[in-house]
Amino acid sequence: MYNPNQEIPSVLEDIPEEEQLALLEKLALWIKRRNLTAPAIIFLETGKPLNFLGSQLMIAFSPFIQALFKGDQYQKIALILEKDENVELLIQLIEKPNDGASLEN
């Protein structure tokens, strides 16, 4: 839920590792629910060399996006995707089988 008093992080180190993993899992689930697995993996694999630039563009467009979507998760995802290791982790989470969990919700 959106908390206007919550400070939006400006560096990756401000986001606890548990929260980073939870946000990446949430993003991977969002991608799977929309059957965007293949396009997302292709996009992420192709853009790996430019992930830092892409994350900075996400941050630059943040004020416009947050006018539509409330909360700080967008900013956090942008910071998380700065690291190559996190992009690779997101790809692994997208490729991971659902283990019987329903994606209908």
Model confidence, pTM: 0.78
pLDDT at 2: 45
pLDDT, the chain, mean: 83
Name which residue leads in pLDDT, 70 or 13.
Answer: 13
* pLDDT tens readout for residues 43-75: 999 888 888 888 888 888 888 777 666 668 888
Hey, how many other C-beta atoms are within 10 angstroms of the C-beta on 87? 21
**Average pLDDT of the residues in 21-49:** 92
DSSP state of 75: H
Q: Where are the domains of the chain?
A: 15-95
Does residue 105 carry a pLDDT above 60?
no
